[in-house]
Structure 1
Amino acid sequence: MYGSRSQLFRRMGCSVLVLAVFAMVGLHFWNRLERSHSEDASVMDGSRGESVIVSDNGRTIGAVESWGSCENRPHVEAHESTHAVTLLLKRTWPLWGGRGDEVTCRHNAGEKISVHLDAPLGDRTLTDRFTGRPVPFRTAPLT
């Protein structure tokens, strides 16, 4: 009777160990895929020139951005402080697609993406969080 109980505990221990190893390996690869398919980027791209627009009321900041059909629509994050607003472009690719497959991804001509501020931009400086440089912008009505 002692031998069968010992074997049962040994089998249960091995099963738990195998499941734990599979779970750890699965989480490792899931995290690697997730990280490899997202990136922070600059809202300023030299090829677009001055593409950042601040609305007339200073509460909305927009930019024209293009992306491929294999990529999710990018979005802009604004981090506000008393003296500055920093912008960061967030780009993501689905787990099944991605940057390595650019040949089959169609690119759009560019669409407006925007972010709303808690308070008007006013005299605060507008900075690119990715590069740390000031963001050139123009003021215009956003539609």
Structure 2
Amino acid sequence: MRSARSVKPFVVKPFVVFGLVAVAATACGGGTTPGGGKVRDSGRGADQGRARQVAAAWEGSEAARVWREGYHPLGDPVQLPEGAFHDDADKRAYLTQNFELRGSLPDAPQKKARIRWPGGDSLALPLTSARAAYEQLDRGGNAGPALTVTGARLGDMTLLTSRGPAKVPAWHFTVEGYDTPLKRVAVAPSKLPAPPVKAVSRQTDELGPLAGPAAVADDNRTVTLRAGHGSCDDGPAVDVLETGGSVVFSASIRGVSDGPCTADLRIEKVTVKLDRPVGDRMLLDAFTGRPVPYEQPGSASPSRT
């Protein structure tokens, strides 16, 4: 265990460096939890005792019931047109969120829209206007290349959620040069319940908060997260505690050293392969004690701000 004196707290500067390296967490070690889950410990120093505490607090809690009755997406709220992108300019426009509107956007046809799951469950939530959905896409405002939107209609899209795949209301935006639409979810996620466990009071290199969203791949076992680290270490790691009702992720930092360091926060994608599918299990952050729903970097969801 490294001494707390070696910890260098993150200071966020006006810039953030986004890493592109995916770090795979591997399984070794073991143990059990109250829910019969298997402890997967990669041996990188994360606090598994805290992970067990978070899992036990959520198991059978009122917060867990509220969570399971809500809409919590685990996939990207945007689905690109077929064949995207035609060239590097279009790709750059999308990544920099640079859009141009040439045409009018329709008003919302109703106040609420319904999410539907295959088993027959459904949930009605306030419908986001086409204008609001477009503004979630168009955040660049720079002089670079732009994707041109010429109209929109209300439809749906299939999206993985905490309750499995669902048909979710979505605005279908017509993009100049593409035969199929760009789809953007038209409802905001449900409000997160108050967690049954408090966040850790102080960040260390052994345990810190996840820095961004969780996205679950089509195999329902591969989870991609974002974790932060500094300039004087070997990067982030994420350990996993799997139980019958939850998956708890513990973010830590590998190889912290003392030398002169710049005070910037670096974010890397960390990919974790679970022992079994996510299913309807909650994805939890050991540091905050909260669920880790999917949110795009820089997005502003009314239910979570």
**TM category, shorter:** 0.5 to 0.7
Give aligned-pair identity as a percent.
Answer: 32
Q: Would the aligned equivalents of 1:75 and 1:114 in 2 still touch at CA under 8 Å? A: no
Unaligned runs of 5+ in 2: 7-204, 296-305
Match of 2:207 in 1: 40
Kindly provide the amino acid, as one letter, of the partner of residue 126 in structure 1.
L
Q: TM-score, normalised by structure 2?
A: 0.28
Specify the alignment match of 2:234 in structure 1: 72
Give 1:127's aligned residue. 284
Amino acid at match of 1:41: G
> What is the CA–CA distance in structure 1 between the aligned matches of 2:258 and 2:266, rounded to whole Å?
23
CA RMSD of aligned residues (A): 2.4
Looking at structure 2, the residues matched to 65 and 40 of structure 1 have their Cα atoms a distance apart, in angstroms, of 11
Aligned AA (1:119): R
- Quote the residue 2:275 is aligned against: 118
Whichever residue aligns with residue 269 of structure 2, its letter is: K
Structure 1 residues 94 and 132: alpha-carbon distance in aligned structure 2, compared to 1, 3 A threshold: closer
Higher Rg: 1
Q: CA deviation at 1:58?
A: 1.4
1:96 aligns with 2:263: no
Change (3 A) 1:64 1:127: closer
Structure with the higher helix share, 1 or 2 = 1
Q: Unpaired runs of 5+ in structure 1? A: 1-30, 139-143
TM-score scaled by length of structure 1: 0.56
- Deviation per CA, 1:25-82: give whole Å up to 9, x if none: xxxxxx6xx2224320122x4xx4xx21111111111123343321221111110011
Aligned partner of 2:214 in structure 1 is 52
Question: For the structure 1 residues 40 and 66, does the alpha-carbon distance in structure 2 shift closer, same or farther, using more than 3 Å as the test?
Answer: closer
